[in-house]
Amino acid sequence: MAIELSDRFGRVHTDLRISVTDRCNFRCAYCMPAEGMQWLDRADVLTFEEIERIARVLAERAGLKSIRLTGGEPTVRARLPLLVEKLARLDVDLAMTTNGATLALIAHDLRAAGLRRINISLDTLDRDRFVRLTRRDELANVLEGLDVARSAGFDPVKVNVVLMRGINDDEIVDFLRLGRDRGIVVRFIEFMPLDAQGEWSNDRVVPYDEILARASEHFEFEPVARGSSPAERFRYRDGSGEFGVIASVTEPFCASCDRMRLSAEGQLRNCLFALRHVDLRAILRSGGTDDELLAAVAGEVEEKWAGHSINQVHFIKPSKGMSQLGG
């Protein structure tokens, strides 16, 4: 029996973000503390077969339309193209978010396996600043990954930039020029309270209006119809591509959000900021049926809040950070 995954506010959920691992090849200052993380035991992480089963049930019986593979860093998961091949057999839009450090080594294999789209997280184009943010000297490898992804046939290649005041807000125009020069789509993301160090404050957020004001000092552009995308899109008037802004804090898109998130150990959350989850791994490993899986997902989606409540007095930061929840 097919069902529609809708919450109490009438939002239908058709987008699943899957963290294929909690591990990473950076120790990013934004994502994880300097001392590192306590990684999951390998036996606690969902197998490819378990991931494929969850995705198949949701695609065939609940109208799932898109899957994004995340982490941690998904490319550190061994034999990742095999998982891509399994998921590519489903009738979904299959994408991945990566930090790009090893993307050049695997981009062609991922494309051949059926990955359709790719997003690269990159918060600075300055080598010294990159080392301070990631604790790795990998900027050259990430930029190479951008180019190899284009040559592998990914189009568009998108770059996600989390803007932080006093850290990288002076690079807005540099990133726009990178996008125009290399034929990629740059998307600026407002800084959210998911940083590992717990240093987020509202004055660290570079807001939507300021991003557009900076961009307009150098380029002419016009808005593009948004649709269900979280990014407000803008097209350069000279035809040299587009860029986007994801204003998660100052102009949240919660009212149209259709996302669910599956952690590496099988916890399904109905929101990036959810404080609860349902354990799909327990259902899988106790012999649960597809009906039981579907019912558990539907029940969790139904309980989704109206919004994330950032900047409201009752906001509570979730226990899991970006390195565990994925982008």
Supply the DSSP string of 132-175, one letter for each residue: HHHSS--HHHHHHHHHHHHHTT-SSEEEEEEEBTTTTGGGHHHH
Q: Does 313 have pLDDT greater than 50? A: no
All residues at 6 or more sequence positions from 188 whose CB lies less than 8 Å from its CB, including other chains = 161, 163, 172, 175, 206, 211, 243, 244, 245, 246
Tell me: the pLDDT tens digits for 228-241? 678 899 999 999 99
CATH code: domain 15-325 is 3.20.20.70
pLDDT digits (tens, 9 = 90+) for 86-105: 999 999 999 999 999 999 99
- Cα–Cα distances (Å) from 151 to 68, 74, 143, 295, in that order, read 21, 20, 13, 42
Give the pLDDT confidence score for residue 54 in this predicted structure: 98
The whole-number pLDDT of residue 308 equals: 66
Q: Where are the domains of the chain?
A: 15-325
pLDDT level of residue 256 (50, 70, 90 thresholds): confident
And the tokens for 144? 């190479």
Task: Name the residue with tokens 């990013």.
Answer: 28
Amino acid 220: pLDDT: 98
More confident residue, 305 or 267: 267
In the three-class reduction of DSSP (H, G, I as helix; E, B as strand; rest coil), residue 231 is classed as coil
The residue assigned the tokens 């987020």 is: 200
Q: How confident is the model at residue 39 (pLDDT cuts 50, 70, 90)?
A: confident
Helix (H, G, I), strand (E, B) or coil at 180: helix
Neighbouring C-beta atoms of residue 195, cutoff 10 Å: 21
Mean pLDDT (whole number) for 164-172: 96
Instruction: Give the residue, 272 or 275, on which the prediction is more confident.
Output: 272
Question: What is the chain's mean pLDDT, rounded?
Answer: 90
What Å distances lie between residue 281 and 49, 122, 277, 320, 326, CA to CA? 12, 32, 12, 18, 18
**To the nearest whole percent, how much of the chain has pLDDT over 90?**
72
Predicted confidence (pLDDT) at residue 7 exceeds the cutoff of 70: yes
Give the global pTM.
0.92
One-letter amino acid of 293: L
In this prediction, residue 29 carries a pLDDT of 58
| pLDDT(37) > 70 | no
- 30 — pLDDT class (breaks 50, 70, 90): low
* Alpha helical stretches, state H, the chain: 48-61, 80-88, 103-113, 127-134, 139-151, 172-182, 208-216, 280-285, 290-302, 322-325
Judged against a pLDDT cut of 90, whether residue 13 lies above it is answered with yes
Separation CA 304–CA 9 (nearest Å): 8
